Structures are given as structure tokens and as C-alpha cells.
């Protein structure tokens, strides 16, 4: 289905190009500008290459082999073997690939179909993996610069139309909960779980409200996935290899319990605010625990990495050639490509649920409905 839709877009754009050559109207332009734009905020789940363009060297880049090996045949900065769910969602919405915000050279006309601000290792706090990512506040500031560019290029009225019609998609917060354990820091050691979750959700809500003030009305969110159960997290406690890491799991469960309440309050308080919330935690947990039901052979072991469950992130000699890594033969057999990130196949399955999942999976709207509003 996805491949067919992708091929249809290519055919339409080809026909439009031929029409331009013979002096017809720009149907390519109509195809793009009449669609709602997609603006993307978040972390490595949505990362499309922003970390490639940092002024300083980030240890959280995926611009080397074997990342990108499946579809693109070269590393793009996506933390996967191929396409990620943002690419599939753009395809379903009849949009081109959404470029990274920091990528040089994209045209101003591309702004009318969206930008991707997501950054690997990003959190809502600037102190989460500092210097290695663009935190949510920085992503918001980058969007504000884009909003000014839209107003300059299109005029206030057309810029307002683009911004109000667009969909704003988020996945953020998981790194804030994981950072103290992976970075071996005492950050938040004196903060209760409830207080930390309040901080994370509060900072996320502030960004949502800022976007609303700029004219945004349609939002998409993913609950936080079971990141205490990734291959990397499952080997933190060497006495319980293969079991979920409870300190992270507890924080994520509390977050997922509280965040929907905040969205319902925003819906009541902000006129015109509409949202889709996908239960990513359940979707991914089902694939980890019952991989064969979803066409996978392995749910708990990574395709690329080293050590138990290939849970040490040496994929692609990330930490230098002295640390080798193993690479599976067929990434489609795996839920996880590297110790913390999904394969293209898993991304596509989740994207389909976000796009057109029923109310028990994505609610109160799904993205397909939001794009049509």
C-alpha cells in the first residue's frame, strides 16, 4: 500500500513536470501547496538529519554505514536502516520528504509543506545530553525563525493560512528520563518521579502553547514508548539482562498516565485546538513481546550492535574501529535496528497506526483526519 502511494506521487509529479514543459499550469505546485504542511518536533524517533549539520561535533549522529542501508542505500542521518515514520506519514499525506531544518539549501517554497526540527538525543531540557542535540526550546525558536520567513515571503495572510492548516507532530521527553542513567549523572537524583514528570510535561505544554499563539491548531503526539525495554536499556542491570529497566519504565508509565490529562485540558481551554494521540507504548510493546504476530523474528535483540542482545551501541564503529559490531542479515526480521532505535519495517507499521488507526489506538483524531480538517 505504502509503496503504491509513493509510486503514485512520483507519477503525478512526473506528469506535472511534463505539463510545465509544454506551458501548462503548475500542477506540481498545486499538489504541494494545497496540502497541509507537516512540522516535526522531537528526538531520534523523528530525526531526519539535523544532527549532521551541527557546528560542533555531536556524538549522536547516524551519518555512517550501515544506517540508511535498506532504502536510501547510504546514510542520511536517520537513525534507522531506511525510512522512518515521518517519511511514511509525509507519503500518506501526499507530501514530499520533509527536510531537516538545519539542512542548507532547501528552497523557501519547501517551507509551505513543512520542516523537521527533530534532533537525536533531544529532550525538553537543555541539560539533557548537553551540546549533543537541539532541545525542544531550541526547536521552537528555529520554528519561530521559519514563521518569520513565511510571513516575509508569503505575506501575513498566506503565512497564517499555512500555519493554521499545518499539522505539528511531537515525540519528546524520553531522553529526559533516560539521561541520568545512560550519562551516569546525579541529575534529578533529589527529584521525585512525580516532580520530574511535571517538569517534562510542563515544558512540553509551554512549547505547545507558544505554537498555538503563533496560529497552530492541529497537533499530533505519540505517547512515550517502552524505552526501558530497548536492547540498550535491557542490559543496564547485568543481573537481569533481557528484562525491562524499571527506573526508566516507572517514569515513562507515569508520563503516559499524566500527559493525556494535559491534552484534554488544553482542548477545553484553547479554542480550535485539536489533537491526535497515538498509543506508541502499546504499539511498540506488542511488537517487542510478540514479534511473530507482526512479521518479525526478533523483538528484543538489535540488528546492529555488540554484546548481549547487541545492546551496546557500537553500530557502524560508532565508538571507533577498536570496538567491533555485528550486523544482522535482514533488518526486516528485527523490531530494533540498533540498541535503541527501530527498523524501517517497524517505523512503517507504527506510521500506519498514527495515520489511520482506530480510536483505541490513535484518538480523538488520527492524523489522516487532522490533515483533512
Q: Is the pLDDT of residue 13 over 60?
A: no
**Is 255 an active-site residue?**
no
Predicted pLDDT at 322: 53
Q: Is the pLDDT of residue 12 over 70?
A: no
**231, 301 Cβ separation under 8 angstroms:** yes
Options 171, 255, 281, 341, the catalytic residue: 341
Options 44, 58, 132, 306, the catalytic residue: 44
Which range among 182-191, 212-221, 252-261, 295-304 shows the weakest confidence by mean pLDDT? 182-191
Q: Which residues of 256-293 are buried (b: 16+ CB within 10 A; e: fewer)?
A: beebeeebeebeeeeeebbbbbbbbbbbbbbbbeebee
Predicted pLDDT at 308: 97
Which range among 23-27, 70-74, 204-208, 302-306 shows the weakest confidence by mean pLDDT? 23-27
Q: Is the pLDDT of residue 347 over 70?
A: yes
Q: Whole-model pTM?
A: 0.90
Q: Is the pLDDT of residue 110 over 80?
A: no
Q: Quick one: pLDDT band at residue 225, thresholds 50, 70, 90?
A: very high
Q: What are phi and psi of 149, to 5 degrees?
A: -65, -40
Distance between CA 96 and CA 328 in Å, rounded?
30
C-alpha cell at position 148 = 518569520
Among candidate residues 163, 298, 309, 297, the one with its CA nearest the CA of residue 240: 309
3-state SS, residue 38: strand
Specify the higher pLDDT residue, 153 or 188: 153
Options 132, 234, 338, 347, the catalytic residue: 338
pLDDT in tens, 64-99: 999 999 999 999 999 999 999 999 999 999 999 999
Residue 212: count of CB within 10 angstroms of its CB: 18
**112, 162 Cβ separation under 8 angstroms:** yes
Q: Quick one: pLDDT band at residue 132, thresholds 50, 70, 90?
A: confident
Q: What are phi and psi of 351, to 5 degrees?
A: -60, -40
Average pLDDT for the chain: 89
**Is 341 an active-site residue?**
yes
**173, 182 Cβ separation under 8 angstroms:** no
Q: Quick one: pLDDT band at residue 105, thresholds 50, 70, 90?
A: confident
Predicted pLDDT at 319: 61
Distance between CA 262 and CA 273 in Å, rounded?
12
Task: Find the distance separating the first CA and the last CA of the chain, reported in whole Å.
Answer: 23
Pairing of strands 304-305, 326-327: antiparallel
C-alpha cell at position 278 = 497515538
pLDDT in tens, 167-191: 999 999 999 999 988 776 666 677 8
Q: How many residues does this entry show for the chain? A: 373
**Is 338 an active-site residue?**
yes
Distance between CA 255 and CA 17 in Å, rounded?
48
3-state SS, residue 115: coil
Predicted pLDDT at 334: 98
Amino acid at each position: 500500500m505504502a509503496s503504491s502511494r509513493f509510486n503514485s506521487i512520483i507519477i503525478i509529479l512526473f506528469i506535472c513536470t511534463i505539463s510545465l514543459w509544454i506551458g501548462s499550469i503548475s500542477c506540481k505546485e498545486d499538489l504541494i501547496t494545497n496540502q497541509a504542511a507537516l512540522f516535526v518536533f522531537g528526538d531520534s524517533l523523528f530525526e531526519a538529519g539535523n544532527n549532521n549539520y551541527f557546528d560542533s561535533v555531536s556524538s549522536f549522529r547516524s551519518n555512517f554505514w550501515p544506517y540508511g542501508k535498506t532504502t536510501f542505500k547510504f546514510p542520511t542521518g536517520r537513525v534507522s536502516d531506511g525510512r522512518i515514520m515521518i517519511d511514511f506519514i509525509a507519503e500518506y499525506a501526499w507530501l514530499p520528504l520533509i527536510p531537516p531544518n538545519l539542512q542548507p539549501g532547501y528552497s523557501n517554497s519547501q517551507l509551505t509543506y513543512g520542516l523537521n526540527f527533530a534532533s537525536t538525543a533531544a529532550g525538553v531540557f537543555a541539560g539533557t545530553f548537553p551540546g549533543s542535540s537541539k532541545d525542544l526550546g531550541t526547536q521552537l525558536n528555529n520554528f519561530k525563525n521559519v514563521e518569520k520567513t513565511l510571513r516575509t515571503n508569503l505575506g501575513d495572510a498566506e503565512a497564517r493560512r499555512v500555519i493554521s492548516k499545518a499539522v505539528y507532530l511531537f515525540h519528546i521527553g524520553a531522553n529526559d528520563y533516560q539521561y541520568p542513567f545512560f550519562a551516569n549523572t546525579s541529575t534529578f537524583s533529589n527529584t521525585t518521579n512525580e516532580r520530574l514528570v511535571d517538569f517534562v510535561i510542563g515544558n512540553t505544554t509551554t512549547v505547545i502553547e507558544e505554537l498555538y499563539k503563533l496560529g497552530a491548531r492541529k497537533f499530533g503526539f505519540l505517547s512515550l514508548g517502552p524505552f526501558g525495554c530497548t536492547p540498550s536499556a535491557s542490559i543496564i542491570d547485568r543481573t537481569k539482562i533481557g528484562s525491562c529497566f524499571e527506573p526508566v519504565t516507572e517514569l515513562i508509565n507515569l508520563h503516559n498516565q499524566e500527559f493525556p490529562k494535559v491534552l484534554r485540558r488544553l482542548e477545553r481551554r484553547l479554542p480550535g485546538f485539536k489533537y491526535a494521540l497515538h498509543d506508541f507504548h502499546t504499539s511498540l510493546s506488542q511488537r517487542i513481546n510478540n514479534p511473530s504476530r507482526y512479521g518479525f523474528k526478533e523483538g528484543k535483540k538489535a540488528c546492529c550492535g555488540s554484546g548481549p542482545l547487541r545492546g551496546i551501541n557500537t553500530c557502524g564503529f560508532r565508538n571507533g574501529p577498536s570496538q567491533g559490531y555485528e550486523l544482522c542479515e535482514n533488518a526486516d526480521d528485527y523490531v530494533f535496528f540498533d540498541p535503541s532505535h527501530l527498523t524501517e519495517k517497524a517505523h512503517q507499521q507504527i506510521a500506519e497506526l498514527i495515520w489511520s488507526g482506530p480510536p483505541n489506538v490513535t484518538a480523538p483524531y488520527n492524523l489522516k483526519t487532522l490533515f483533512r480538517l
